[in-house]
């Protein structure tokens, strides 16, 4: 049989059917295409075949994967925009940072470069260096911009627990809105940036009056920030994996169905097998669980001292 015949390669046959639906307009831009599980059911093929078929359509640029939406028909590229010339609009540090935020949020920190920002702004790359010393300063300004956009109120809610919940959730929201942020935030070698330091000072002030030594207060601030950043880093890694593979987390798990089912049916992992499907995949719920248990532990510690 001819190796180029689609009938000899089921994934090409499946891709051809879905491609025809897109070309004919039956599936319009933005419409969801069949998931891997649905392809398995509708075409009677293996999960690996379904995954490969969708990969072919992604490689052809016909579909894209969007977190939370699955795989959808790709919208036509907009007409190229005319690059703004320096005399059209004055180049400022604020415009450079805003453009960097947009690129980082949409494509990841690795997509941010001086050359890329210059192209987005319609200027020569060297003109950026009249406003920035280089990549390191740009990263610092990105972090400052995020923390500036997430200020903490003065004096804040009553009670140490309400205050710690507020600062923790504020930082969690910042990390979720800017998945690249955990990469630039270090707890052992922190950036000495005013907006970030204000968060630390605010958190320390929330602990005023508690029966804790200065060392214990410092550890509490670092422990709480580590909890938030650690989970945010996991969320960021998932966002990066989806962007690089074009495969949302739920589809990734579907491709492992047979392997997971076999392991759980072996009887060697009865407690793992008893966990409900999806119980730990909601990172927002996992964050709330971790925050509550952490603050419960601090409250119990303070109660024992009294």
pLDDT per residue rounded down to tens, the chain (306 residues): 344 444 557 888 888 899 888 888 888 887 888 888 888 888 888 888 888 888 888 777 788 776 555 678 887 655 545 544 544 458 999 999 999 999 999 888 888 888 899 999 999 888 998 898 888 899 999 999 999 999 999 888 999 999 999 999 999 999 999 999 998 988 878 778 999 999 999 999 999 999 999 999 999 999 999 999 999 988 888 777 776 666 666 666 666 677 777 777 788 888 877 877 666 668 888 899 999 999 999 999 999 877
pLDDT in tens, 110-161: 888 888 999 999 998 889 988 988 888 999 999 999 999 999 998 889 999 9
Give pLDDT, residue 110.
85
Q: What is this structure's pTM?
A: 0.66
User: 6-73: what fold?
Assistant: Arc Repressor Mutant, subunit A (1.10.10)
Hey, CA dihedral for 272, 275, 277, 281, is it positive or negative? negative
Euclidean distance between the first and the last CA atom of the chain, given in angstroms as a whole number: 82
Residue 157, both tokens: 């809610």
Percent of the chain with pLDDT strictly greater than 70: 84
List, by residue range, all CATH 1.10.357.10 domains of the chain. 160-305
Give pLDDT, residue 30.
78
Give pLDDT, residue 306.
73
Residue 220, both tokens: 């509490």
List, by residue range, all CATH 1.10.10.60 domains of the chain. 81-132
Give pLDDT, residue 141.
95
Q: Any idea which residue has 């919940």 for tokens?
A: 165
Phi, psi of 72 (to 5 degrees): -130, 160
List, by residue range, all CATH 1.10.10.10 domains of the chain. 6-73
Domain covering 81-132 in this structure, CATH number: 1.10.10.60
Of the candidates 301, 274, 133, which has an alpha carbon nearest to the alpha carbon of residue 220? 301
Q: Given this structure, which CATH class describes domain 160-305?
A: mainly alpha
Give pLDDT, residue 195.
93
């Amino acid at each position: 049989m001819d190796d180029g015949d689609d009938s000899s390669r089921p994934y090409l046959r499946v891709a051809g059917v879905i491609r025809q639906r897109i070309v004919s307009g039956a599936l319009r831009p933005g419409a969801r295409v069949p998931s891997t599980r649905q392809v398995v059911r509708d075409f009677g093929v293996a999960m690996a075949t379904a995954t490969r078929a969708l990969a072919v359509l992604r490689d052809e640029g016909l579909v894209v994967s969007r977190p939370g939406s699955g795989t959808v028909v790709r919208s036509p590229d907009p007409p190229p925009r005319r690059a703004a010339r320096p005399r059209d609009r004055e180049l400022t540090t604020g415009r450079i940072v805003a453009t960097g935020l947009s690129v980082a949020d949409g494509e990841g920190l690795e997509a941010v470069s001086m050359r890329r920002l210059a192209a987005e702004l319609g200027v020569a790359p060297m003109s950026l260096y009249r406003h920035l010393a280089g990549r390191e300063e740009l990263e610092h300004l990105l972090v400052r911009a995020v923390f500036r956009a997430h200020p903490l109120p003065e004096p804040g809610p009553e009670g140490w627990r309400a205050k710690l919940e507020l600062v923790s959730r504020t930082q969690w929201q910042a990390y979720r809105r800017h998945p690249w942020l955990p990469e630039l935030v270090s707890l052992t070698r922190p950036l000495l940036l005013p907006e970030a330091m204000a968060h630390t000072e605010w958190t320390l002030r929330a602990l005023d009056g508690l029966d804790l030594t200065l060392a214990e207060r410092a550890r509490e601030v670092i422990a709480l920030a580590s909890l938030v950043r650690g989970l945010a880093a996991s969320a960021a890694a998932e966002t990066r994996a989806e962007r690089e593979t074009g495969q949302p987390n739920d589809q990734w798990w579907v491709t492992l169905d047979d392997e997971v089912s076999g392991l759980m049916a072996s009887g060697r992992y009865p407690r793992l097998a008893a966990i409900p499907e999806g119980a730990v995949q909601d990172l927002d719920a996992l964050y709330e669980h971790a925050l509550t248990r952490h603050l419960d532990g601090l409250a119990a510690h303070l109660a024992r001292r009294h």
